[in-house]
Amino acid sequence: MTAPGASDAPARADATHTDTVFTFCRICLASCGVEVAVADNRVRKISADKQHPHSWRDFCAKGRNAHQLVEHPRRIRTPMKRVGNRYVAAGWDEAIADIAARMTALIASDGPDAVGVYYGNPAGFSSSNLIFLNGWLDGIGTGSRYAVGSVDQNALHVVAEAMYGSALMVPVSDIDNCDYFLLVGTNPAVSAWNWVETAPGGWRRALDRQRDGARIVVVDPVRTESADAADTHLAVRPGQDWALLLAMVKVILDERREHRQDCMQRVTGMAALRELVDGVDVDDLAARCDVPRALIEQTAREFAAARGAMVVTRTGVSLHLAGTVGEWLGHVLNVITGRMDRPGGRRFEPGYLDALRLAGLAKTPDHRNRVSGRPMVAGAHTLSDLPAEITTPGRGRIRAMVIDAGNPVVSGPNGAALDDALGQLDLLVAIDLVQRESHRHAHWLLPAVHWLERDDLLALTSNMHDEPFVQYGAKVVDPPADARPEWRIFVDLALAMKTPLFGARGLNGFIRATRALARRTGRPGLEFGPGWLDRIIVAASRKVGGRRLRWRDLTENPHGKVLGPREFGHFRAALRTEDKLIRIAPAELVARARQLLADPAPRPPAGFPFQLGNRRNRHSMNSYLNELPGLHPGGRGNRVLIHPDDAAELGIADGDRVRVFSAVGEVELDAELSDRPRRGLLVMDHGWGSRVFDPRGGGAPQSFGVNRNLLIDGNPVDPLSQTPALSSGYVGVRRCAAE
């Protein structure tokens, strides 16, 4: 459907004849190879692809049950239009014409910012969704762009831009040579070693190293599954990793344990970094992060002395008000101890597509939100701003939104405020597989295509693989007749709205011509679409292992192909700073660190003595997959973990119904006593509390668990990443019967 000339598309099943298709799972970045048995265009079984060059050890139940979403009884199979309180099936022509006409009218009266979009995490696992979405938005010229980054990885992009000159310059982990893993704010035993990198089997490979003598240190306010396996667990105070890491930097610099050559030759700004640490007091930092000074010093010395070592920081660091400084100091530790571009440390993988160069060409709109005045971060605005941008009257107010592969009412802060705002829109369009919580006010539900139903060449993340690797994500089954890939929807809207796709004059006319040609010749591949881009990407690929990628590499290697050895030495060339030096102490990060140091240590506000921590569930993916019976038999939902000593003081017993409340919301759920969280920390899985509606059958909404993000205020935000305190908000808890 997408590759030009279907006959030469990469090997895939013609579902009626072939019974095994090899592809890879596109639920999380572990990107596990899968072997799928198919008959009559139905998935019969999904197993780990044991012939895959490196990924099968991460294969999990989410991948094994992926087809349950494809066959979801409540799946949206045709465009559905809201009529009063119900939905009726409609055709695509009507859907596109209606949405285009309403958006065009709003833009005419209110300007382009009246049309907004939010895209979520799964959009990044499609090779075409985001490219064409942005192409459509560029044509409209709207700055009302919202994305999952502000509740996920913005901190990393801000730090990468500041230190290395590109938001996409993300180092990958050289796990197999590492002797000392300092894992901060990550639980790879559950989340499979992924956050903006693909290191398949990463956690098990780290455990293999541990058996050979490597040490694993886990920094986490919760004694997680990963902490259970670690040699050392530092139960840091939530949101205070920056203090721990800054103290480690100070110990290393004061004791002259830094990698002198790297600090002199690869780095600029060491004087500013020294000046910062000269002014700090390790005892003060130890008190802030609540890790004993002696333990901080010991960890710093061991880290600096280890032969191969890495700090890995992830969402446990980023989802806080000081997250960007924490993220920065993790990179600082790696750089000053000579871990960048060295075995056992963190490497730059160039990949077969020069994504950094492409990213440099893309122009991020210079747009500020009218209510908060905040600029974009990594190409999008923070979710914290979205409710007010919809509800505050005035020119530029968002009046129409598309939610593309996302569930921001559940995944973002203060879901109640966002839900209320979404209900005030003139037009809400959801592109998804089922209707979830964030789509409940939708005027249009547009049926998307699941990754098992589409081809993907994920070239934009080729530099995030921990080994030069390519695999064509072949489609396994045909989608429902009326489902459409997102790219097609955005092209149709651009044509109907007469807005130039990618802002490129003449392109719309060209697309119409290719469509006509495709129709006339009966060759759908001739229509301009992602298949064209795939061909261009392969033709324009960089040399890896001495040669360029060829289309044959994709078609002849259904299990994927390792393109060459892991190489060191690409880091410096890849830097996008003018002088090819790492900026170790960017001014905005130093200034923010000074501000944190000047402020008193954060204290709970009256009435809300606890902090709300977070967990992921092995068998769900953020707010989706929670409802699949193959993954959650019994459908119990989430609970709140309370330390037994805290529970005893409040008279709460295991299994009691409790109310957890904050300044912005409250939820009711069962308590589970556990000594895994630190005292003073309640822990609740995120991603629950998302209803699944039944727009086709009219059945009652199904509900699974409670949405812990109802308790999180969207403001304040970390001023650099614009991320709210998702994993450190303040709450109180009470036994329901006691009220």
Ligand X SMILES: Nc1nc2c(c(=O)[nH]1)N[C@H]1C(S)=C(S)[C@@H](COP(=O)(O)OP(=O)(O)OC[C@H]3O[C@@H](n4cnc5c(=O)[nH]c(N)nc54)[C@H](O)[C@@H]3O)O[C@H]1N2
The site for Mo ion (CB under 5 A) is made up of: 152
**Site residues for ligand SF4 per CB under 6 A:** 25, 27-28, 30-32, 58-60, 62-63, 192
Q: Which option in ligand SF4, ligand X, Mo ion, none does residue 235 bind, with CB closer than 5 to 8 A by kind?
A: none
**Span near ligand X by CB under 6 A; candidates 35-43, 329-337, 540-548, 615-623:** 615-623
**Token digits of residue 727:** 């994993």
The answer to whether the beta carbons of residues 95 and 446 sit under 8 Å apart is yes
**Which CB sits closer to Mo ion, 597 or 725?**
725
**Alpha-carbon dihedral of residues 222, 226, 231, 233, nearest 10 degrees?**
-10
**Which CB sits closer to ligand X, 215 or 686?**
686
**Smallest separation (angstroms) from Mo ion to the CB of 121:** 5
**Token digits of residue 451:** 């990754």
**Which CB sits closer to ligand SF4, 60 or 489?**
60
CB atoms near residue 547 (< 10 Å): 11
**Which CB sits closer to ligand X, 98 or 220?**
220
**Which CB sits closer to ligand SF4, 153 or 369?**
153
**Smallest separation (angstroms) from ligand SF4 to the CB of 88:** 35
Q: Which option in Mo ion, ligand SF4, ligand X, none does residue 721 bind, with CB closer than 5 to 8 A by kind?
A: none
Site string for ligand X, 202-221 (x = CB under 6 A): -----------------xxx
Interface with ligand X includes 435 (CB under 6 A)?
A: no
Size of the residue set binding ligand X (CB under 6 A): 63
- The CA angle 376-380-382, to the nearest 5 degrees, is 75
Interface with ligand X includes 191 (CB under 6 A)?
A: yes
What is residue 456's three-state secondary structure? strand
**Smallest separation (angstroms) from ligand X to the CB of 521:** 29
List the one residue from 24, 195, 661, 704 that touches ligand X (CB under 6 A). Answer: 195
Q: Which option in Mo ion, ligand SF4, ligand X, none does residue 63 bind, with CB closer than 5 to 8 A by kind?
A: ligand SF4
**Which CB sits closer to ligand X, 68 or 728?**
728
Interface with ligand X includes 316 (CB under 6 A)?
A: yes
Within positions 414 to 433, which residues make up the interface with ligand X, using CB under 6 A? 431-433
**What is the DSSP annotation of 517-573?**
HHHHHT-GGGSSSHHHHHHHHHHTPPPBTTB---HHHHHT-TT-EE-S----S-HHH
Site string for ligand X, 473-512 (x = CB under 6 A): -------------x--------------------------
**Smallest separation (angstroms) from Mo ion to the CB of 218:** 19
Q: CA-CA distance, 443 to 455, in Å (whole number)?
A: 29
Short-list 4, 5, 92, 12, CA closest to 454: 12
**Span near ligand X by CB under 6 A; candidates 159-167, 172-180, 251-259, 621-629:** 621-629
Interface with ligand X includes 135 (CB under 6 A)?
A: no
**Token digits of residue 440:** 């409940």
List the one residue from 128, 173, 315, 461 that touches ligand X (CB under 6 A). Answer: 315
Interface with ligand X includes 613 (CB under 6 A)?
A: yes
CA 423 to chain centre: 26
Largest CA distance in the chain: 76
Q: CA-CA distance, 563 to 353, in Å (whole number)?
A: 12
Short-list 62, 129, 127, 36, CA closest to 558: 36
Q: CA-CA distance, 227 to 187, in Å (whole number)?
A: 8
Sign of torsion over alpha carbons 582, 584, 588, 592? positive
List the one residue from 74, 145, 370, 686 that touches ligand X (CB under 6 A). Answer: 686
Q: Which option in Mo ion, ligand X, ligand SF4, none does residue 407 bind, with CB closer than 5 to 8 A by kind?
A: ligand X
**Which CB sits closer to ligand SF4, 451 or 688?**
451
**Which CB sits closer to Mo ion, 2 or 626?**
626
The amino acid present at 508, given as its one-letter code, is: N
Q: CA-CA distance, 662 to 711, in Å (whole number)?
A: 5
**Smallest separation (angstroms) from ligand SF4 to the CB of 56:** 9
Which residue's Cβ has the minimum distance to ligand SF4? 63
Cis preceding-peptide flag for 171 (omega within 30 of 0):
no
> How many helices (H) and strands (E) are present in the chain, helices listed first?
26, 26
Q: CA-CA distance, 236 to 247, in Å (whole number)?
A: 13
Q: CA-CA distance, 576 to 570, in Å (whole number)?
A: 12
What is residue 56's three-state secondary structure? helix
Cα distances (angstroms) measured from residue 15 to each of 19, 476, 549: 7, 7, 28
Short-list 325, 308, 307, CA closest to 317: 325
Interface with ligand X includes 142 (CB under 6 A)?
A: no
**Smallest separation (angstroms) from Mo ion to the CB of 626:** 15
Q: Which option in ligand SF4, ligand X, Mo ion, none does residue 122 bind, with CB closer than 5 to 8 A by kind?
A: ligand X
Sign of torsion over alpha carbons 95, 101, 107, 110? negative
Residues forming the site for ligand X (CB under 6 A): 28, 120-122, 126, 148, 151-152, 184-188, 190-192, 194-195, 219-222, 224, 236, 238-239, 241, 314-317, 319-320, 404-408, 411, 431-434, 436, 448, 450-451, 486, 613-614, 616, 618, 620-624, 686-687, 709, 726-728
